[in-house]
Amino acid sequence: MILGLDSDNTVLELVEYAWAGFGAAFGPVMLFSVFWRRMTSWGAVAGIVTGGVTVIVWSLIEGGIFELYELVPGFILGSIAIVIVSLLNKKPSQEILDEFDFVEVAKYDEEKREYYR
């Protein structure tokens, strides 16, 4: 709402900023949760916070490399945070790893409406 009070902002800039925030905060977490079985919940939290904060800080600094769209550095730093924090945590439980492996190879039976190997 505060951004809307600035008469220099256009609707496109506001939407662009919002998508940068969503993309940087949640994009890496969604991709890593689907493709990397080692991601932990604390890694996800670190990625969300790092990506979101990066977008906010990046937009406040002007000139040079800081003219780059906020989503790009937010996504990169959020991804790095996920990897570092997940590797510093203990591995996910075997139950979670088994579920990840099952979903990766599961097939769907239309008649029974259930997944199977």
Number of CB atoms found within 10 A of residue 12's CB: 8
62-105 confidence digits (pLDDT tens): 888 989 999 999 999 999 999 999 999 999 999 989 888 888 88
Report the percentage of the chain scoring pLDDT > 90.
61
pLDDT bucket at 1, cuts 50 / 70 / 90: low
pLDDT bucket at 41, cuts 50 / 70 / 90: very high
Global pTM reads: 0.80
